[in-house]
Amino acid sequence: MTNIWIMTMLKTEFAAFVEEQIALAGEILADAKVSKRDYMSGGKLSVFLALHRVLQGKPTEQDLGMLRLSEIL
């Protein structure tokens, strides 16, 4: 029973981390200045949105390919 609680907690914490990273990348992209950070943030946003959909149980085929989960699932 304890192991299930630990796994749930880890998943919850990881989901919160993913959501935080999505928000941070979004803030950088919302800034009116254009810089190299925009391109990096766009890449991070793509990865973290894919992770978010996987954690929600609603991944796209592109998400699975990007994260190489199609080889595991």
pLDDT digits (tens, 9 = 90+) for 4-16: 655 676 888 999 9
Whether the per-residue pLDDT at 49 is higher than 70: the answer is: yes
Residue 3: the pLDDT is 61
d(CA 29, CA 12): 26
Q: In total, how many domains does the chain have?
A: 1
Q: What is the DSSP letter of 61?
A: H
Domain carrying residue 46: 2-71
Nearest-5° angle of CA 67, CA 50, CA 46? 100
Q: What is the mean pLDDT of residues 20-37?
A: 85
